[in-house]
């Protein structure tokens, strides 16, 4: 059951990454490409966690980098919004 759920989360994260990449292609806003990369890292984390359970500690670095990238994207978007006003 755990492998199935890891696969579902991997598929969902990859789908979200493709969705944000599609949004980036139409708007060329770097916020979307950062979110796409972050969800790609999360998908890779879940893939490695399910395929190679003994490397979960190293795979958690990918998850951490994904969340850091999301935080950087939000901060960058907020900063660029203030400079335009």
- Locate the domains of the chain by residue range: 2-84
| DSSP one-letter string for 38-62 | HHHHHHHHHHHHHH-GGGHHHHHHH
Q: Mean per-residue pLDDT for 45-74?
A: 89
What is the distance between the alpha carbons of residues 78 and 72, in angstroms, rounded to a whole number?
A: 10
pTM, to two decimals: 0.86
> What is the rounded CA–CA span in Å between residue 26 and residue 45?
27
pLDDT digits (tens, 9 = 90+) for 5-25: 989 999 999 999 999 999 999
Reported as a single tens digit per residue, the pLDDT across 29-52 is 999 999 999 999 999 999 988 888
**Which of 11, 2, 14, 16 shows the shortest CA–CA distance to 50?**
2
């Amino acid at each position: 059951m755990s492998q199935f759920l890891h696969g579902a989360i991997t598929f969902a994260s990859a789908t979200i990454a493709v969705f944000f990449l599609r949004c980036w292609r139409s708007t060329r806003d770097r916020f979307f490409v950062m979110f796409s990369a972050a969800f790609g890292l999360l998908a890779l984390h879940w893939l490695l966690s399910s395929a190679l359970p003994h490397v979960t500690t190293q795979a958690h670095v990918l998850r951490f980098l994904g969340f850091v990238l999301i935080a950087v994207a939000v901060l960058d978007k907020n900063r660029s919004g203030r400079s335009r006003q």
